[in-house]
Structure 1
Amino acid sequence: MGEQPIFSTRAHIFQIDPATKKNWVATSKHAVTVSYFFDSTRNVYRIISLDGTKAVINSTITPNMTFTKTSQKFGQWADSRANTVYGLGFSSEGHLSKFADKFAEFKEAARLAKEKNQEKMEFTSTPSQGGAVTRKVLAANKHALKKESTSSLAPPSPLTSESVNGTEDERAAPDMPQPFEARGGAEPSHNALVFSHSSPSVNKHWEAELAALKGNNAKLTAALLESTANVKQWKQQLAAYQEEAERLHRRVTELECVSGQTTATRSDKTALNRTIEELEEALRSKEDELERLKMDVQSANQFHSQRDSLTHKLQTVEQMNQALEAQLGELEQRVEADRRERETFRQSLRSLLQLLDGKILELSQLREALAKLLECS
């Protein structure tokens, strides 16, 4: 759709003197039309005013700008991009108030459009599937660490267009404000802010998650090695317990055969039976511990596969980032080429106008000569 005017009025235009930064310099000899324009393709609001073919105002509205009323009929704002301060003198206080209200309205719309564009870029630069996988991996790591701790060795939408054209011819000169020091700081470029915000934040997000996963992997690996060593030790203890139980059974049998059913033999047999029961209970607990360790090993294997998947996705995101940077470079080159073409066109147009003025002058002189010749004849 391009850029469309949404509000217009008439005013005398001034700019701050670039040498003194204190005095006003009139840029229009009479009241001219001052219009707000909206570019729907870029969500940008601008103030534009033409004095004939000369653009006396071309100011893009940003959220940091402020329109100040310095008198009943005069207002001003600073444009750091143009490195100047604009002043407008109106024919009435109502025109000034209407222009100030529109300035505040479009400034708020520009702020909302900027925030909406930033949120859109952040949303599109965060892969949803990667976030779901990351949450699953973190949950699995938390579950594995919990098992490790328990299994120790001890068992806006755009504004509606509005056009208010000033039709009165302001004959009275505007009220001149008192001189003041120009203010305003450098404002960041909107496009550069968006592109610089998206790519590094994605890389930092994935690098932080990868570092956390590497730390959890190291912990699980250490726990797995320790558990493997404990399993070997428990197997050795189990074999020793089994040998001890067999030896005790044989001893009990020998004692029963040799000594008979004496009281001492019964007490020894009872003690041996209790020892055997304790050993069997310890054996069952070790078997349960061994099952838990097997489950930990399976969880560690799943973690390895998930870590490889995240590494692959991180590489994909880096490639997308490089592609976006390349596209940004191409866009900047195109913008620069378009600017040069427009400048060449303007120069050609100026040359054509000068040539046309010369031809018109020649025709005028020729007409006068012919008129004189006609009068003489």
Structure 2
Amino acid sequence: MGEQPIFTTRAHVFQIDPSTKKNWVPASKQAVTVSYFYDSTRNSYRIISVDGSKVIINSTITPNMTFTKTSQKFGQWADSRANTVFGLGFPSEQHLAKFAEKFTEVKEAAKVAKDKSQDKMETSSNHSQESGRGTPSSTQASSFNGTDDEKISHVEPEDVVLQSENNRLKAAVEQGNTNAKKWETELQTLRDGNARLVDSLNEANASVETWKKQVLICQEESTHLRNKIASLETQSNEVNQEKETNSRLTSRVKELEADLQDKDLELENLRKQAEIIPQLMGECDGITEKLKAAERKNGELEARVEALQKDVEEKQQQQGSLKRELKKMTDTLDGKLDELQEFRQGLSKLGTD
């Protein structure tokens, strides 16, 4: 069956900076497909990720590898064969948890496969050692159990050298045939791997086309959303203006309500005053009648005053005439007194005489 994907997810791929061994360097511009592959012929597991036509992850999982969660959405593992550290940024914590669980499962399966391969290697080595032990004994037996003719016959040194060289060449040819078969197997494995990579690249190219279409759709949606955002911002500005207008109107309404309350108070006061008006009108009528009576009395008093003034004038005239008469009488009396004084003086003189 060859190498088949057993688990696939999407993540952002990073590699550790080889110079600093601290900072992460993005290996992909966006989230790419990351898959676990199982090779049934080699009984091995790999993590493979392709960005376009570039293979950014080709990591064979070994039992001593460890996948570490460094945050809620980020994990990493070290690959000693690639001499780097891979990091994956997942869209959610659930994706990270599934990938980590699969890593643990694959690592355990790789450990089991490694143990089985070691058992097979030990078994084959034991068989080879046993066959190796039997070969020299047969050689020795053939050398020691040779015929008497071969023992008697004399072998020249050059023939011995050629025979040993021939044996060495035969062993080298057999070893070369063995290596050739091994290399053919490895070559076939590499061809299968290349075929799988070509299929992966084709799938990646198809995915790229799909992603390009999705990017175009996303760009169109982004343009549509930007236009919608612009229209919403315009509407928001209009709404803000309307809010300002409403706030001004609200303040004006409050002012008008305050004025209306003042007017209501004035109206209430006027109503109270209007209730008092009939009483005041009655009082005003009484006051008017009193005023008329007072005016009549005032007229009478004025008539009396005029009459009194006339009487006073007459009295004054009479008093003036009386004063004149009194003055005349006083003057006359003074003359009489003078005369009387002179008469008294004359009488006194007469008395003395």
TM-score above 0.5: no
TM-score normalised by length of structure 2: 0.41
Bigger Rg, structure 1 or 2:
2
Q: Whose relative contact order is higher, 1 or 2, with alpha carbons under 8 Å and at least 6 apart?
A: 1
Could you state the TM-score of these two structures normalised by the residue count of structure 1?
0.39
> Whose helix proportion is higher, 1 or 2?
2
